[in-house]
Chain A
Amino acid sequence: MGGLGGPPPSPPNARKRRGGAVALLDGPPRGAASRSVHEERLEIPPSSTYASAVAVPLVPLDADAPSMTTAPLVFTGRGGEYFRIWVVNLLLTVITAGLYSAWTKVRKAKYFAQNTRLDGHVFGYHGNPKAILRGRIIALVLLGAYTWGFQFSRVAGLVTLMVLCAAGPWLFMRSQQFKLGNTSFRGLRFGFDARVGEAYRIMLPILVLWFAPAVVTALTADEGWQLGLVGLLTTLAIPWMHHRLKAYQHGRAVYGDRSFAFLGARRKFYGVYLKGAGLVVLAVLLGTTVAFVIAWFRGPASQFPGTGFEAAIYGGIIVLPVYVFAWPFLAARLQQAVWTSTRLGDVRFRTEIKARALFKIVFKSVMLTLLTCGLYWPFAAVALARYRIECVRVDSELPLTAIAADLHGRPVAALGEGAADTFGLDLGL
């Protein structure tokens, strides 16, 4: 069975706890009472599997921190179930010429959130589809202007870039607010502490650097040394930009009345990107070699890179290794760097994500998706989500239940979330 629907080997507790409501780390007095009530209904005898599942998190991490407890995240989604959701979502999206996509986005987000369990409780997603539809229309207009602006005229292109710089930070801030503000855990909402001035201070340098090569291309007649210089500068700044964005996203996140903190990992980002760049070069070399071999086998008259359709096939052969080899490495190491630097009070996060395991999942997903003409896509999405989610560990000195009970909800609209609900942008960052 392997990949089709069946989850990859995961800890036994991932599937055994149909009841789900078991709080793995319940604190002594109150927790013990609630657990005794629930044991009866769960009908799961304290079998060896169950006992070990409970025992694992309670093992002290190391001698220096004997009181540290660890809670894993568990993903209960299944490829087969998500396939059915995906098909129906797509059918309705195509029938409505894309308008229904906002509703499918909400259903998808709910599916992944409610199938993610931390300490026995699930996450919730509450986004308003109409707000997402409005956000998508805004995004589509901006994307269209960005893609076609310079085709139309230099002035139109430059004006588009200026509009993007002027609106970008505010849109990003609002999108974070929408995403986090509509996510809940244990009845409390996450949130994003959005301050307009800060958003511009953080984001404007990123946007200016990002668009600099496009501006230079538009203003200089030839793709000369100016473009090379600016392009190099922007490329070298990518780790810095990415880190700045992540630091802002994680540093201003809020859960209940408590703020997340981001400690900073700029050096790690540069290290990861440096190795990642090496892998990209290797992957491109590999792809180019394969493409040349194919071109050679097809006969001396065949052109490389060729034109039109052929160029696209050869391009695919070159890009595929980058996606399969370099992306898993970057994604795994960056996820590690980001989460180990994130704190929520005393709560720490870890991820045991491994580039090699991620590579196996991506490779299998790409191959099966191509072989099945895209039908494996939902299975791939679930497999990837399962691995990325189940690698995360939440460490804390007190059991999570005790910490959560001490958290409070925010007064409504404390962070201006009412306004954020007018439209939802998913930027996928």
Chain B
Amino acid sequence: MRANEFRAWFFSGRDGEAAAVVMRVDGERVVVEATDGTVRESEPLTTVMMSEPFDHAPRLITLRSGGTLEVEEEGGRLARALARAGVAVSPVVQLRRWWPAVLVALAGLIALVSLAYLKGLPLAAHWVADRLPAGIEGRLGDQMLVALDRHYLGPSQFDAEWRERLARRFADAATKAAPGVPYRLEFRATSEESINAFALPGGVVIVLDGLVRFAGDEAAVLGVLGHELGHVAYRHSTRQVLQSVGVGMLAGMLWGDFSGTAASVPLVLGVLKYSRGFEREADDFAIAFLRANEISIEPFYDVLVRLVEREERRGIATLPDFISTHPSLAERIEHVFKALDE
């Protein structure tokens, strides 16, 4: 068998019969010869459709006549003959056939995914959040509140008069420190007296009775509310929702063909990671908020410290949401502490 000749199966496309033939790469043509030597097909290499080479699979070569050739690679002999005849190998195939190149590609992939995860997604989420119609954001927050009310939250135990007074105090402070940040304050309680406050997309700020009792001081409560107002001003909740959608899409791209449970696991990891920077921003906002209203930062700082002490006593499993950024907690306290000195 000459270097440019290959035994192959020929399928006419008219029936399923497999004909044993010899395929010859003849100059710039593919010639198909029957076993008795008669030429069945002859076609320029430029018009045939050739499948990509795989290590252990035969090549499928489709001719204009509708016929198909099934030709084994024969350990690279076919690829060499085609290369001699001037058939170009696509860069993608060249890349994936060479292990060192694949490892470089893997390193590039990891770098790109990390970059997209750490920088690209937050930027994209920020960009989209700023352009999202207020109506959609509001509806998103309202729906989350409905779900929270149905499953976790109950009405506040404080009397309406007290709530109204705090709300008015906060409204005045907000007008002074951050006019034009639309928010809605909601009082709620949970059965196990959770110490928490949080902001939902669209500006809903929820404060739980447990937090108010724990803080004790009105200035401290205002500090926490200022922190939540910071989340609202920077649209952190909306950005977080958008980022987790982005992480889900990225994970789907990597491990699923838009399916598979495995793809949804990193989604939650993404939410946790992102919140650290947001908490820092909100703390800064709270400090500026308190300063603009000439309220001491000390009570707010005090709440943070007491929360950490409490957590250290109970183990870190019950950290409330508005402080749930374990690794940066000490850092955050230090950050606020610095503001205290200034």
Contacts and interface: CB of A to CB of B under 8 A. Distances in A.
Q: A-side binding surface: helix, strand, loop or mixed? A: helix
A201 interface: no
A18 interface: yes
Contacts of A20: 58, 72
A31 B75 CA distance: 26
Interface in B36-59: 51-52, 54-58
Given A81-B55, A94-B112, A409 B13 contact: yes
Contacts of B92: 88, 92
Interface string A22-40: 0100000000011001100
A410 to B, nearest CB: 10
A256 interface: yes
Interface in B134-155: 136, 139-140, 143
Interface string A72-115: 00001110010111011011111100100100010100110011
Contacts of A87: 96, 102, 105-106, 109
Indicate the member of B35, B67, B97, B102 with the most A CB atoms within 10 Å.
Answer: B102
Contacts of A426: 257
A406 B15 contact: yes
B310 to A, nearest CB: 10
B99 interface: yes
Given A187-B12, A428-B259, A23 B35 contact: no
Contact of A111 (B11, B54, B140, B259): B54
Chain A interface size, as a band, is: 35 or more
Interface string A360-379: 00000000010000100100
Contacts of A306: 317
A407 B1 CA distance: 32
Chain B interface size, as a band, is: 35 or more
Contacts of B54: 77, 81, 110-111, 114-115
Interface of B: 1, 7-9, 11-20, 35, 51-52, 54-58, 60, 66-68, 70, 72, 75, 92, 95-97, 99, 102, 105-106, 108-109, 112-113, 116, 136, 139-140, 143, 249, 253-255, 257-259, 261-262, 265, 268-269, 271-272, 314-315, 317-318, 321, 324
28 contacts: A20-B58, A21-B7, A21-B9, A34-B20, A37-B20, A38-B7, A76-B57, A77-B57, A81-B55, A87-B106, A88-B96, A88-B105, A94-B113, A115-B56, A122-B70, A184-B68, A186-B17, A187-B11, A188-B11, A299-B314, A301-B315, A301-B318, A309-B269, A374-B254, A404-B15, A405-B18, A406-B15, A409-B13
Interface of A: 18-21, 23, 33-34, 37-38, 41, 76-78, 81, 83-85, 87-88, 90-95, 98, 101, 105, 107, 110-111, 114-115, 121-122, 124, 139, 143, 151-153, 184-188, 256, 298-299, 301-303, 306-310, 312-313, 316, 319, 323, 369, 374, 377, 401, 403-409, 426, 428
